[in-house]
């Protein structure tokens, strides 16, 4: 990447310390050179995936036909694992120079554990280990959802020296538990003599879905005060999450781990595509700018920010007080953010389970068609 090839808004964003990751991956992106171009021309330094992304990729075009033909007759679960890990391995190889240049901070690619295991810690750990071995690249993150059983799986996976992207975080309370699970995992790794330096982790804090749910509740209330608060809950919630992160990295527990060579578990803003067309299409980028975070964007959001995004400086640090007042005002109207975030976690797992089923069904149909 050079200054001349990266648009000014993107340069401003990265200059402010935000790492730009693409929230998408497909065989077509890889073979067409699209991902490589986004790295070179749009400042992308990482990639995240999820079951919905892979389900869409497999059902679009013919990029997977040759491999489906090779895998015809295979067990569908095994075939899906082969296809997805091949894509992630290729993306990891493409981003390896970024990984090396940033000492392992960026250049990462995520792959998610089967979401049907979200409430089974033991099986999650087994699959996380297998995915880590199968992809066999140091710059891979294994994605594990932040359910209550997932917290144990996160600690146990990190304790083995496996890098983890913790996903589906919606509430501040759960985020604090995620950071504690991260610390427990690193402490166990250290006790077992594992080098903490190569272990990476991010905590994926979901943004836009909070506004979608809270806005619906505010519209149901319907008062002018309630309607004026639309579009504010998600950013406020994320800013409070960053306050929790700052508090965690100020603890003796973290200082001890950092002294042992550990890298911080960076906050990652996920679900940053704007769902309400009345809002700015760069809302969840421009309002969450601060040094040391990741923003993983779908390509339309990335391109929109490259075209007309504006960085006005740090829009997160020092905002916790105002963010807290925003949430308190919303809750004073009868909207429980705890109820909202609890539902979003359950619904998020269910949606990924549905996408996984769609992915298996699409792969099964493809295997049959190619084997006919």
Q: Which residues contact 178 (CB under 8 A, 6 or more apart)?
A: 146, 151, 154, 166, 169, 203, 265
250: number of Cβ within 10 Å: 10
Reply yes or no on whether 351 is catalytic. no
The dihedral region occupied by 79, where left means phi > 0, alpha psi between -120 and 50, and beta the remainder, is alpha
Q: How far is residue 264's CA from residue 293's CA, in Å, rounded to a whole number?
A: 10
User: Is 280 in contact with 286 (CB distance < 8 Å)?
Assistant: yes
Q: How far is residue 79's CA from residue 85's CA, in Å, rounded to a whole number?
A: 10
Give me the residue label for tokens 């679900």.
Answer: 271
Count how many Cα atoms sit within 13 Å of the Cα of residue 185 in the half-sphere of its side chain: 31
Q: Which residues pair with 18 in a beta bridge?
A: 293
Q: How far is residue 352's CA from residue 263's CA, in Å, rounded to a whole number?
A: 29
- CA-nearest of 72, 1, 62 to 26 is 62
Q: Which helix (H) or strand (E) holds 44?
A: strand 44-47
DSSP 264: P
31: number of Cβ within 10 Å: 11
Among the listed residues 123, 143, 275, 351, the single catalytic one is 143
Q: What is the DSSP string of 5-36?
A: TS-HHHHHHHHTTEEEEES---HHHHHHTHHH
Q: Which helix (H) or strand (E) holds 293?
A: strand 293-297
Which contacts qualify for 335-341: CB closer than 8 Å, 24 or more apart?
Answer: 335/214, 335/217, 335/218, 335/221, 337/171, 337/214, 337/233, 337/237, 338/171, 338/173, 340/170, 340/210, 340/213, 340/214, 340/217, 341/170, 341/171, 341/174, 341/210, 341/237
Q: Which residues contact 191 (CB under 8 A, 6 or more apart)?
A: none
Active site residue ranges: 143
């Amino acid at each position: 990447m050079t200054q001349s090839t990266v648009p000014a808004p993107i340069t401003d964003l990265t200059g402010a310390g935000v790492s730009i990751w693409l929230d998408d991956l497909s065989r077509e992106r890889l073979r067409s050179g699209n991902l490589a171009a986004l790295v070179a021309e749009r400042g992308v330094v990482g990639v995240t995936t999820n079951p919905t992304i892979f389900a869409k990729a497999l059902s679009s075009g013919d990029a997977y036909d040759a491999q489906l033909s090779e895998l015809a007759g295979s067990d569908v679960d095994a075939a899906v694992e082969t296809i997805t890990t091949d894509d992630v391995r290729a993306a990891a190889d493409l981003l390896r120079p970024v990984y090396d240049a940033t000492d392992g901070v960026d250049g990462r690619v995520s792959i998610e554990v089967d979401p049907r295991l979200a409430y089974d810690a033991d099986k999650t750990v087994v699959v996380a280990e297998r995915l880590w071995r199968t992809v066999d690249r140091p710059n891979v993150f294994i994605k594990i959802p932040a359910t209550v059983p997932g917290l144990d799986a996160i600690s146990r996976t990190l304790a083995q020296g496996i890098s983890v992207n913790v996903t589906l975080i919606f509430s501040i309370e759960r985020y604090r538990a995620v950071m504690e699970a991260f610390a427990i995992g690193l402490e166990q790794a250290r006790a077992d003599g594992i080098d903490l330096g190569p272990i990476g982790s991010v905590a994926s804090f979901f943004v836009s879905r909070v506004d979608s749910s809270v806005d619906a509740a505010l519209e149901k209330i319907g008062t002018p005060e309630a309607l004026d608060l639309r579009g504010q809950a998600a950013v406020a919630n994320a800013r409070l999450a960053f306050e929790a992160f700052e508090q965690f990295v100020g603890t003796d527990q973290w200082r001890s781990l950092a002294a042992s060579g550990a890298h911080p578990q960076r906050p990652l803003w996920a679900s940053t595509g704007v769902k309400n067309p009345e809002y700015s299409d760069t809302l969840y980028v421009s309002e969450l700018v601060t040094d040391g975070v990741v923003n993983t964007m779908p390509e339309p959001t990335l391109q929109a920010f490259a075209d007309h995004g504006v960085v006005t400086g740090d829009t997160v640090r020092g905002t916790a007080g105002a963010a807290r007042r925003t949430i308190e005002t919303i809750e004073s109207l009868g909207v429980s953010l705890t109820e909202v975030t609890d539902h979003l976690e359950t619904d998020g797992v269910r949606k990924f389970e549905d996408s996984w089923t769609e992915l298996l069904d699409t792969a099964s149909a493809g295997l049959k068609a190619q084997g006919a």
